[in-house]
Structure 1
Amino acid sequence: MHQRAYDRQCTAEEQRHTEAKSPIRNPKPTLFALALGTFAIGAGEFGSNGVIQLFAADLDVSVPVATYAITAYALGVMIGSPAITLLAARVNRRTLLLGLIALFLLGNGVSALAPDITLFVVCRFVTGSVQGAFFGAGAVVAAYVYGPGKGGKAFATVMGGLTVATVVGSPLGTFVGQHAGWRALYGTVAAVGLLAGAALFAWLPRTDDLRGSSLSGELGALRRRGVWLMVTVAALGVSSIFAVYTFIGPFITDAALRDASLIPIALAVFGLGMALGNHAGGRVADRYESLGLTAGYGGALAFLVLIGVAGENLAVLLPCLFGVGATTMFAIPTIQVRLTSFAPDAPTLMGTLNLAALNLANCLGAIGGAITLDAGWGTLSTVWAGVLLTTTGLLLYTTTVTHIRPTPAPAHAARSSTRAG
């Protein structure tokens, strides 16, 4: 209810602004360029997991030490991206996105040439720092292109590249790494990033409407209770996706007792669910205040329980893997819309914090699953860690966030609210 009132409050100013500028006749090239950028980012992120043993051996370190590179990437998203977003608060979003893709090319290019684990870890942190900031700025541009009232759809479009990377980019990247060497993976990712950079340069709108905001406005958003509650809700609730995704391999081989050749199929099924859930969630987020999150988290809990009870049966496991991916991703565009409703003057930072929360969720889900495995509760026990975390996130949302009023957009931020939807 509060969200709808907030939307009505902003509609008049947003419409006046929209009518004052010539509409973009064909937004598809811009949206494609943004999605291609996030696809490249996702292929590099997920592909790294598939070649960890290869770069560990080549750089002469153990696999546990090699995981520092994976951790460094996550820290880059959680720490580096918000820092970049704040430092670039006043920069036009077009300029920021082009700078970020250049940094992405540098990080992956040097990763492909790194002679030792130290430089490689540093490069992965730098590359991770691009991710959240790119998603945040990309969501602002996508919302500007779509027009007012479509912030959820805009964020889902930007996220679409990442979800496609889980279905196509990650398996292909792993294949390249296994057959041409792990360095070829990062070279290929850099090549896709170069194509994305060219598309962004050609098709991102050149307009002052995408100029940044003040640093004080961005920092002011960090003092709002609703923002941090939503970040916590996201980190807790989405963690269930990683309590499953991280352990799909053991689910197939140890729980369902099937050949490892089925693991790529299971990963693709999971990724397909993520892609479809993200697409549907973007549409729901713009129409309903909480349905995307409550239905998404609630649906994920149901599928998690089914895996925990009957996941040894492949006929149950595969549909439930699809279901967990779809329902969890269904909630993420609503998280973005709700975050932006609490800080309409800092939409880029809200997108960055959303991605930071998702990477924190990655850590929570993996750690929770590892705890249940170490306790000897069985291969499928990781889903119960997801049940606990997602239930906590859902309860936190329904008992606190739903009672917090959105923050009205200040007059000078009318353009930002238009761009952020």
Structure 2
Amino acid sequence: MSGPLAWRHGGEAGAASWMVMDKRIYLLAFVNFSMGLVEMFPAGILSRIAAELSVSVSAAGQMLGLFSLTFAIAAPVLQVLTARFERRRVLMITLAVFAAGTLWGVFAPTFAEQMAARVVPAAAGGLMCGTAFALAAQIAAPAFRGRAIALAAMGISSSIVLGVPLGILVAEEIGWRAMYVLTVVFAALAFVGVWRWLPKVQGSGAVPLSQQLRTLRSAKLLSAHTVTFLLMWGHFAMYAFLAPFMEQVVGLDSRWMSVVYLAFGAAGMTGGFLGGYSSDRWGGVRSVTGAGCALALALALLPFAATSLWLVLPVVMLWGMSAWGSTPSVQHYITSTSPETAGIQLGLNLAALNFGIAMGAAVGGLTLEFVSIRYNPWVGALAVIFGVLVARYSARLPYRRLAVA
């Protein structure tokens, strides 16, 4: 960018706030919002999608897993392939491809075609989202990097706040395919915003993917990415199937399901900000340890709280807050550990996050199919506990500065 998108200070640095950040950062968050909307909305209506496409609920849940797996693989590759090109143009072209791929989902009649229609927007979304996170880390002062990352992540978490319950509502009133149309509208608005407000930004030399992967020879960095993978695995082993759990175990209808998802999403947005704030104040390791322990506790308690909406709702909110609070905490830890490769590590961490989502959806689907959905929360809690242990292990490892070409 022609100049850093810096925090605007009303006084000393300690008075800076994400609320007064350069407005163009919010535009980047909106780009993430568009991507998150199409990725997550099937979560709330799996039973409806499964019935229309004549597949099981666990199979329908893999719509989330395939999107995340494609995202994880495509994001680092596309970042390298497009690194030398002017960034605004790349983002605009990517948004256009994302919109076209999303529109395909409106007309895809079978489950196989629906799965195929998830691949194009997932690949484009990887490039969109990776660029937004990298910029968020670059534009903030070091003392506020955690909150800048959190703001970019809030684009995704806010898409959960609105997207999943909105998907339930739209499915009830119009049909679930209309959510694809709505996503295209948001992508078009993001396209106009990028064209109108972002300046031309010259690309830079790409860091080869092989060189990016070589940074994982550092056990400290590799273990940190493993933390993200395990936490997201545990989170999505349950989240991907929250709707059928609420239907079958708690006995909620679609109206109350929307309330649960709104509560989860609002808690997630709050947790994202608190995760960034606590990382800046107490460090990423302490922050992710606290968030991980809270996440494991919430998942472990979920089956016991499922006897009543009023018992399950606070547990769901603790779950949402801790799940999304862990993301900026780990990313802060990674960027502070290796500031010389911060951009590379954020891209790799985003891939780890989406590999975790895909694994969680796969394992959660198998648990639902062959055991019982009542066990999904406990399967997730075990993965999260391992993630917390790996975080403590990572904190004790030494780190040697990496050379970057």
TM range (shorter): 0.7 to 0.9
* Contact 2:102-2:120 at 8 Å conserved across structures: no
Q: Which residue of structure 2 aligns with residue 325 of structure 1?
A: 320
1:209-228 counterparts in 2 under 5 A?
211=204, 213-215=206-208, 217-228=211-222
* TM-fit CA distance, 1:315: 2.7
| Secondary structure class of the residue paired with 1:290 | helix
The one-letter code of the counterpart of 2:207 is S
* TM-fit CA distance, 1:75: 2.2
* Contact 2:31-2:129 at 8 Å conserved across structures: no
Q: Number of residues paired by the alignment?
A: 390
* TM-fit CA distance, 1:225: 3.3
* CA distance in 1 between partners of 2:313 and 2:279 (Å): 27
CA gap of 1:197–1:403, structure 2 versus 1, over 3 A, is same
- Give CA-to-partner distance per residue, 1:31-54, whole Å, 9 cap, x none: 221111111111111223456676
Confirm or deny that 1:237 pairs with 2:231: yes
Confirm or deny that 1:184 pairs with 2:185: no
* Contact 2:99-2:184 at 8 Å conserved across structures: yes
CA gap of 1:255–1:164, structure 2 versus 1, over 3 A, is same
* TM-fit CA distance, 1:295: 0.7
Confirm or deny that 1:126 pairs with 2:128: no
- Give CA-to-partner distance per residue, 1:226-264, whole Å, 9 cap, x none: 333222211112333223323333443443344453222
Confirm or deny that 1:156 pairs with 2:150: yes
* Contact 1:218-1:345 at 8 Å conserved across structures: no
1:390-405 counterparts in 2 under 5 A?
390-405=384-399
CA gap of 1:162–1:71, structure 2 versus 1, over 3 A, is same
* Contact 1:342-1:406 at 8 Å conserved across structures: no
The one-letter code of the counterpart of 1:385 is V
| Secondary structure class of the residue paired with 1:400 | helix
1:110-149 counterparts in 2 under 5 A?
110-114=104-108, 120-149=114-143
* Contact 1:252-1:262 at 8 Å conserved across structures: no
CA gap of 1:309–1:107, structure 2 versus 1, over 3 A, is same
| Secondary structure class of the residue paired with 2:142 | coil
Q: Which residue of structure 1 aligns with residue 33 of structure 2?
A: 39
1:251-330 counterparts in 2 under 5 A?
251-287=245-281, 288-330=283-325
* Contact 1:236-1:392 at 8 Å conserved across structures: yes
RMSD: 3.3
The one-letter code of the counterpart of 1:229 is S
* Contact 1:368-1:386 at 8 Å conserved across structures: no
Range moving further from structure 2, 317-326 or 240-249: 240-249
Q: Which residue of structure 1 aligns with residue 346 of structure 2?
A: 351
* Contact 1:235-1:358 at 8 Å conserved across structures: yes
Percent identity, aligned pairs only? 27
Range moving further from structure 2, 295-304 or 309-318: 309-318
* Contact 1:132-1:351 at 8 Å conserved across structures: no
- Give CA-to-partner distance per residue, 1:59-101, whole Å, 9 cap, x none: x664577666444322211212222122223345444433332
The one-letter code of the counterpart of 1:399 is Y
* CA distance in 1 between partners of 2:352 and 2:32 (Å): 17
Confirm or deny that 1:362 pairs with 2:354: no
* TM-fit CA distance, 1:290: 1.1
Range moving further from structure 2, 143-152 or 38-47: 143-152
* CA distance in 2 between partners of 1:110 and 1:84 (Å): 21
Q: Which residue of structure 1 aligns with residue 15 of structure 2?
A: none
CA gap of 1:126–1:346, structure 2 versus 1, over 3 A, is farther
Q: Which residue of structure 2 aligns with residue 165 of structure 1?
A: 159
* CA distance in 2 between partners of 1:98 and 1:212 (Å): 20
* Contact 2:71-2:354 at 8 Å conserved across structures: yes
* CA distance in 2 between partners of 1:283 and 1:402 (Å): 23
| Secondary structure class of the residue paired with 2:307 | coil
* TM-fit CA distance, 1:374: 5.5
| Secondary structure class of the residue paired with 1:286 | helix
Q: Which residue of structure 2 aligns with residue 194 of structure 1?
A: 188
Q: Which residue of structure 2 aligns with residue 7 of structure 1?
A: none
| Secondary structure class of the residue paired with 1:404 | coil
* TM-fit CA distance, 1:22: 9.2
CA gap of 1:393–1:94, structure 2 versus 1, over 3 A, is same
* CA distance in 1 between partners of 2:119 and 2:389 (Å): 33
1:329-340 counterparts in 2 under 5 A?
329-340=324-335
* Contact 2:341-2:402 at 8 Å conserved across structures: no
* CA distance in 2 between partners of 1:345 and 1:214 (Å): 13
| Secondary structure class of the residue paired with 1:241 | helix
* TM-fit CA distance, 1:300: 1.4
1:80 aligns with one of 70, 74, 80: 74
